[in-house]
Amino acid sequence: MTSALDAAAHIALTEQFAAHNYHPLPVVVAHGEGAWVTDVAGRRYLDCLAGYSALNFGHGHPRLLARAHAQLDRLTLTSRAFYNDQLGPFVRDLAALTGKDAVLPMNTGAEAVETAIKVARRYGQERHKVDPDRANIIVMAHNFHGRTTTIISFTTDEDAKRHYGPYTPGFRIVPYGDLEGVQAAMDDDTVAVLLEPIQGERGVVIPPAGFLAGVRRLCSAHGVLMIADEIQSGLGRAGATFACDLEDVVPDLYVMGKALGGGLVPVSAIATDAEVLSVITPGSHGSTFGGNPLAAAVGHEVVAMLETGEFQQRARDLGAVLAEGLAGLPEDRVLGVRVRGLWAGVDIDPAFATGRAICEALMQRGVLAKDAHGSTIRLAPPLVVTEDEVGLLVDALGEVLTGPAPTEAQH
């Protein structure tokens, strides 16, 4: 299918009629297949953002498309007022994948985080008699958990928070990786510690070894729920089903999203113990689209694809290739590199270029990536890329870093 409008016209329409809550690279994508996308002019790009890891299985994975197509023709929505024949098998297998007893399905990541917060507060109040006005949740500085009013109440990103008050109380922020800080913040009114096992939006920041295990010990000792937001780090990206697995840590509650919908539909969920989820009663929480048959069918296929461990293995193998390539980048331009699975944060010397300028230069070389904050580039190609394609990415980045300093285009 060809588009009647050219790239400039599409960009103009979007800028005129859509809110300016993003600052996209000037590429207009019309088609995607596997790790590649094609723009309206027919130019191909290697997608090294992969929808912030929602596209872990690439664009249009045949298995996911087949399952979605079949379900589209049969049944798409019932609401939870009725049962449907897709939800049961999906939640059974997702529970098995997580090693937990029970699942609560939602749609977007932020909704799943909100669900985790509600479950933790209610569990603390009902089971541990925490005063509803005093219940607190310990969170990490530089977190990213989504965009709702409650979630931005405990962000440390001023752009995400400013002007949106009044803010939801009940959160205590400690430095990421600071176990003593977590311990000091924890008291009898603490119902949960909420963290990302790897901070993706911040630039793939990995906590010190032993931090997650330490939080696990503190939570167990104080009867506090450990909540792992694995929306971006989970489902294969980090080289394991969950990033927590890399540290042999089992949280009380997993929050999942992004890749759970296979890049086709929004699907999110929490998974936890039956005892914890038993606090949720009819009428106390819900979503019109949560657990809908189309989402459940796609999510079920995603779970089946993860059950074999094939994608987790690919992330480990290709991640090793990526790490080796990144280690060869010019040292005077790169301040730091962090890799976990097929997921990397590369800190470019800000004296050389901004992350945005680097991403624009990569785009000109046929590679799409996204800067995190400042001069950090986040790399997360779909787990279906080949070794050669990882090589293309590394070569393009190497070219940009050895050439003249790129500057941001005027806009």
Ligand X SMILES: *Cc1c(COP(=O)(O)O)cnc(C)c1O
Q: What SS3 state is found at 84?
A: coil
Q: Which one from 258, 311, 370, 371 is the annotated catalytic residue?
A: 258
Q: Which one from 47, 93, 229, 371 is the annotated catalytic residue?
A: 229
Query: Min. distance of Cβ 131 from ligand X in angstroms?
Result: 28
- The structure tokens listed for 57 are 């299985």
Q: Which one from 57, 90, 144, 352 is the annotated catalytic residue?
A: 144
Strands (E), 293-369: 334-339, 344-348, 367-368
Q: Which is nearer to ligand X, 124 or 200 (CB)?
A: 200
Is 144 an annotated catalytic residue? yes
Q: Which is nearer to ligand X, 114 or 389 (CB)?
A: 114
- The structure tokens listed for 54 are 């929602």
Any idea of the CA torsion for 356, 360, 366, 371, to the nearest 10 degrees?
10
CA distance readout (Å), 405 to 25, 355, 408: 18, 11, 10
278 Cβ neighbours under 8 A, 6+ residues apart = none
Q: Which is nearer to ligand X, 109 or 207 (CB)?
A: 109
Query: Min. distance of Cβ 347 from ligand X in angstroms?
Result: 19
Is 57 an annotated catalytic residue? no
Is residue 89 reached through a cis peptide bond, with omega within 30 degrees of 0 on the bond before it?
A: no
Query: Min. distance of Cβ 106 from ligand X in angstroms?
Result: 10
Query: Min. distance of Cβ 20 from ligand X in angstroms?
Result: 18
Q: Which is nearer to ligand X, 145 or 314 (CB)?
A: 145
Phi, psi of 285 (to 5 degrees): -170, 155
In the 8-state DSSP scheme, what is residue 167?
P
- The structure tokens listed for 337 are 């590199």
Query: Which residue number places its CB atom closest to ligand X?
Result: 109
What is the C-alpha separation between 37 and 368, in angstroms, rounded? 9
Q: Which is nearer to ligand X, 261 or 355 (CB)?
A: 261
Is 100 an annotated catalytic residue? no
Query: Min. distance of Cβ 200 from ligand X in angstroms?
Result: 5
What is the C-alpha separation between 375 and 359, in angstroms, rounded? 10
For ligand X, the binding residues (CB under 6 A) are: 52, 108-110, 113, 144-146, 196, 200-201, 229, 231-232, 257-258
Residues in the chain: 411
The set of catalytic residues is 144, 229, 258
